[in-house]
Structure 1
Amino acid sequence: MLSVKDLNLYYGSIHALKGINLEIREGEIVTLIGANGAGKTSTLRTLSGLEAPESGEIFFGARSLKAAAAHKLPSLGMAHVPEGRRVFSSMTVMENLELGAYARKDKAKLKTDYDYVFEKFPRLKERRKQLAGTLSGGEQQMLAIGRAMMTQPKLLLLDEPSMGLAPIVVQEIFNIIKQINEAGTTILLVEQNANLALSIADRAYVLETGRIVLEGNAQELLKDEKVKEAYLG
């Protein structure tokens, strides 16, 4: 579904991504784990067109994304839930969801998809007329995911969905991430909580200072002594 070959990204003189290679197959949950500054968020931002790589290839299916503008990617089937949620705080919950669907042509199916989001996140239904900026952190994360789901993504990029949230809310959100995947959406997950990320993923890549240093089956990496020592505490 997604193929990345020899991806290099610079911020000025800083070489942030150093020859990244990764593959994501349809139906998987793949996670990127690593310390702060390892390049996880930079990888997602480059895949979704928010950063321009110095070199390398990104293929989404058979299509090269090298020249694709970020705002075109949702209509191709890729949605990005950014770090920090980035909801439109002065707009209502419903208006945020409507923005997720702004480019869709199949208006007849919108009600079905709003109902799907409200089924997954009942609190959003209760608060659909409330300003997004007044929601709790967990509710804003639910809204950010719901807004992305309104684009009908084939591939969902999730950047740090657990950040700043209480453990009980994190567990709820990760349960829903699994349900979204089981319903047919492929997921690329960046997550500081490596234990949790590996527990729901099929495969994983470990990043260190902009390089992939390890990859493999997520359950096997959970048992790997080096991974345990470096990332699992």
Structure 2
Amino acid sequence: MLEIKDVNVFYGAIHAIKGITLAVGDGELVSLIGANGAGKTTTLHTISGLLHATSGEILMDGKNLQKVPANSIIGMGLAHVPEGRHVFARMTVEENLRMGAYIVRDSKKINENLESVYQHFPRLKERWKQYAGTLSGGEQQMLATGRALMTNPKILLMDEPSMGLSPLLVKEIFAIIQELHKSGITILLVEQNAKMALSVADRAYVLETGTIAMEGNAAALSADDRVRKAYLGA
């Protein structure tokens, strides 16, 4: 479904992403782990068109996303849940969700999507009139994810969903990610909490200073001494 081939990204003179190649198959949950500053968020921003690669290809269902404007990529079935949530604080929960459906023209479909999101996130339904800025961090993460789901995405890019959350809420968010995966949504998950990321993923890539250092089955990587020492605190 998603292929990244020999992609390079620069910030001015800084070579942030150095010829990375990775793939996410239909229905897979693939994790991209690495230390802070390794280039994980830059990779997601490049896939979703917020940044442009200097070279290489980013293909979704065989179509080169490098030639597609960022606002059109959403319509192709790719949704991005950004690092830090970025909900509209002065809008209600439901207004935030409906903003996520701005590309959907069928009002009936919007209402169906809304009910589907509320089934995934019952807490959002309880707080549908509440201003997003008054929600807890975990609830805002649910809202940001629900907003992305309003587009019926084929693939969901998730950037650091556990950031700033308590251990209890981290478990809850990852249970939701597993539920979304089981429902058939393809997910590329960027996460600094390597233990949790590897526990839910089918496959994973390890990103170090802009390059893919390791890749493979998530369970095998969890057992690898190099990964355990560098990322799992073993």
**TM-score normalized by the length of structure 2:** 0.98
Superposition pairs of residues 46-65 of structure 1, within 5 angstroms: 46-65=46-65
Q: Which runs of 5+ in 1 are unaligned?
A: none
Superposition pairs of residues 77-92 of structure 1, within 5 angstroms: 77-92=77-92
Give 3-state SS (helix, strand or coil) of 2:66's partner.
coil
**Aligned-residue offset at 1:111:** 2.0
Give 3-state SS (helix, strand or coil) of 1:125's partner.
helix
Match of residue 26 from structure 1: 26
How high is the sequence identity, in percent, across the aligned residues? 61
Q: What is the identity, as a one-letter code, of the residue corresponding to 2:168?
A: I
Q: What is the identity, as a one-letter code, of the residue corresponding to 2:91?
A: M
1:41 and 1:105 mapped to 2: Cα distance?
30
**Aligned-residue offset at 1:23:** 0.7
Q: Which runs of 5+ in 2 are unaligned?
A: none
Number of residue pairs matched? Answer: 233
1:59 and 1:68 mapped to 2: Cα distance?
11
- CA distances 1:89-117 after superposition (whole Å, capped 9, x unpaired): 11111111001111113322222221111
**Aligned-residue offset at 1:31:** 0.4
Give 3-state SS (helix, strand or coil) of 2:214's partner.
strand
Match of residue 158 from structure 1: 158
Q: What is the identity, as a one-letter code, of the residue corresponding to 1:226?
A: R
Q: What is the identity, as a one-letter code, of the residue corresponding to 1:35?
A: A
Question: Does residue 186 of the first structure (1) align with residue 189 of the second (2)?
Answer: no
Match of residue 125 from structure 1: 125
Match of residue 134 from structure 1: 134
Contact 2:159-2:190 at 8 Å conserved across structures: yes
Give 3-state SS (helix, strand or coil) of 1:42's partner.
helix
**Aligned-residue offset at 1:151:** 0.7
2:152 and 2:81 mapped to 1: Cα distance?
13
Q: What is the identity, as a one-letter code, of the residue corresponding to 2:67?
A: A
Match of residue 14 from structure 2: 14
- CA distances 1:66-102 after superposition (whole Å, capped 9, x unpaired): 1211111111000000000010111111111001111
- CA distances 1:2-59 after superposition (whole Å, capped 9, x unpaired): 0111100000110000001001100000000010110000000000000011111000
Q: What is the identity, as a one-letter code, of the residue corresponding to 2:174?
A: F
Q: What is the identity, as a one-letter code, of the residue corresponding to 1:24?
A: V
2:35 and 2:110 mapped to 1: Cα distance?
39
Contact 2:98-2:110 at 8 Å conserved across structures: no
2:123 and 2:23 mapped to 1: Cα distance?
35
Contact 2:205-2:214 at 8 Å conserved across structures: yes
Contact 2:194-2:231 at 8 Å conserved across structures: yes
2:156 and 2:189 mapped to 1: Cα distance?
8
2:61 and 2:104 mapped to 1: Cα distance?
20
Match of residue 76 from structure 1: 76
Match of residue 232 from structure 1: 232
Q: What is the identity, as a one-letter code, of the residue corresponding to 1:145?
A: T
**TM-score normalized by the length of structure 1:** 0.98
1:201 and 1:33 mapped to 2: Cα distance?
11
Match of residue 66 from structure 1: 66
Superposition pairs of residues 107-122 of structure 1, within 5 angstroms: 107-122=107-122
